[in-house]
Amino acid sequence: MNAEDAASLRGQVVRGVVHGINDAGGSQALTVETHEGVIRTGVEVLQPYGLASKPAPGGLTVLLAIGGDQGDMVALPPAGGVRLGVDDGEAALYTDEGTRVHLRAGGLVEVAAATAVQVTVAGVRLRVSATGVEITGSLVVTGNISASGIVSDGAGNLR
């Protein structure tokens, strides 16, 4: 292989540092530095269906030159500066602030949030925060209810 062909092949896949992300259009676009001082703008990110992310600038991405044309590049989803470690067989969705949904080994789903976890289905809401658990909608319990504190209803305290 001659030097020109080798250089052409090396330029088809490059690593880049993300300087900015435009998430406003039909597809996410990056401003990315591919080589020292070489900035590319409007590079489309190929995101998998059903997942969306927008890491802070400074992350890394891999860029592919379509048909070998460095003027027509696409990027793989960027990696952020923070990574959550997981054990074998586990998976997680997480943010750089520590919010996470962690699918742990043994069948445990762990959800961690700094302020609240909220689930809404057709107007019924379950919200867990530092102040307690709030349910907007009807609650049906099959089984016993135990409380170590006071239980109140619309007419007063239950004894």
Rounded Cα distance between 42 and 31, Å, is: 6
Rounded Cα distance between 103 and 117, Å, is: 16
Asked if 30 contacts 45 with a C-beta cutoff of 8 angstroms, the reply is yes
- Evaluate the CA torsion angle 127, 128, 131, 132 in order and state its sign: positive
pLDDT at 157: 80
Task: Point out the least confidently predicted range of 53-57, 80-84, 135-139.
Answer: 80-84
- Could you tell me the residue ranges of all domains in the chain? 3-75, 91-158
Mean pLDDT of 86-110: 92
Q: What is the side-by-side strand order in the sheet with 100-103?
A: 91-94, 100-103, 109-112
pLDDT at 76: 92
pLDDT at 90: 94
Answer yes or no: is pLDDT of 8 > 90: no
Rounded Cα distance between 28 and 20, Å, is: 11
Name which of 102, 124, 119, 98 is nearest 111 in CA terms.
Answer: 102
Answer yes or no: is pLDDT of 40 > 80: yes
Rounded Cα distance between 22 and 25, Å, is: 8
Instruction: Supply the CATH classification number for the domain 3-75.
Output: 2.40.50
Banded pLDDT at 17 (limits 50, 70, 90): very high
3-state secondary structure of 19: strand
Asked if 106 contacts 88 with a C-beta cutoff of 8 angstroms, the reply is no
Banded pLDDT at 111 (limits 50, 70, 90): very high
pLDDT at 3: 83
Banded pLDDT at 118 (limits 50, 70, 90): very high
Mean pLDDT of 20-30: 90
